[in-house]
Amino acid sequence: MRALLIEDDPHLGDTLCRALEGEGYVVDWLTSAEQGQVALESTEVDLMVLDRRLPGISGERWLRRLRAAGFRIPVLMLTALGEVGQRVEGLDAGADDYLAKPFDLDEVLARLRALARRRTVEPTSVLTVGELELDRASRAVRLRGEAIELSSLEVSLLEKLMDHAGTYVTKSRLADSVYGFGQDVTDNAVEAIVSRLRKRLGRQVIRTLRGVGYRLEL
């Protein structure tokens, strides 16, 4: 599991990075929202640990932008501001959990495990990203309220992109989600499904980053 750590304090960042790696995470440690944005455009992540106060764009402001763009990855926000009103602001900005400094590393890791379980075990029945909706149960897809007819392969690939809205998903992971893990599937097969989705949803809906993968843009 890959974690994105955005923390500008060098001592705390190093401590958190070591703790997360000890828990088995692959960690990308960055020190600003701007760096984090670049990382999200090229790397698929499963969890984010985000400091509220960062140089440049604050973590809270950046998270609001990400959530508005459809970013769904669980986020644990860290802050030196522990007042109730400030915690409420952080949660309203889109944080899934909120922890005030100083904190115990074991509690950080426990909260991240809880976020990972919640994401894996309790998926949202209806996925919504911008004006696009996908009902996991019925496999029905709607764009701006209008039903869109898609094949089962197209729905499966779209669901993977929606689950990771705001980040790029590699062709191999898309292939695993559509055809099953470990099957011998060519890149052309994934590209063909993406091409058909673009025809039905609009060419600008799915963005390509060469050598990385695809990202949903709504």
In which domain, by residue range, is 144 found?
Answer: 126-216
- Asked if residue 154 and residue 63 are part of one domain, the reply reads no
**pTM to 2 decimal places:** 0.65
For the stretch 155-189, pLDDT in tens is 989 999 998 888 888 888 888 778 754 456 677 88
For position 184, what pLDDT does the model report? 60
Taking the C-alpha atoms of residue 108 and residue 77, their distance in angstroms, rounded to an integer, is 10
Sign of CA dihedral 100, 102, 104, 109: positive
- Asked if residue 139 and residue 100 are part of one domain, the reply reads no
Question: Can you state the angle between helices 187-201 and 171-179, rounded to 10 degrees?
Answer: 80
- Asked if residue 92 and residue 35 are part of one domain, the reply reads yes
- Asked if residue 174 and residue 104 are part of one domain, the reply reads no
For the stretch 18-31, pLDDT in tens is 999 998 888 999 99
Question: Following CA atoms 15, 17, 21, 22 in sequence, which dihedral angle do they give, to the nearest 10 degrees?
Answer: 10
- Asked if residue 205 and residue 97 are part of one domain, the reply reads no
- Asked if residue 135 and residue 174 are part of one domain, the reply reads yes
Instruction: Give the residue from 96, 121, 146 where a domain finishes.
Output: 121
Judge whether 1 and 47 are in contact, CB under 8 Å.
yes
Q: How confident is the model at residue 107 (pLDDT cuts 50, 70, 90)?
A: very high
Taking the C-alpha atoms of residue 87 and residue 105, their distance in angstroms, rounded to an integer, is 19
Instruction: Give the residue from 121, 155, 181 where a domain finishes.
Output: 121
Report the SS3 class of residue 143. strand
Residue 132 pLDDT more than 90? Answer: yes
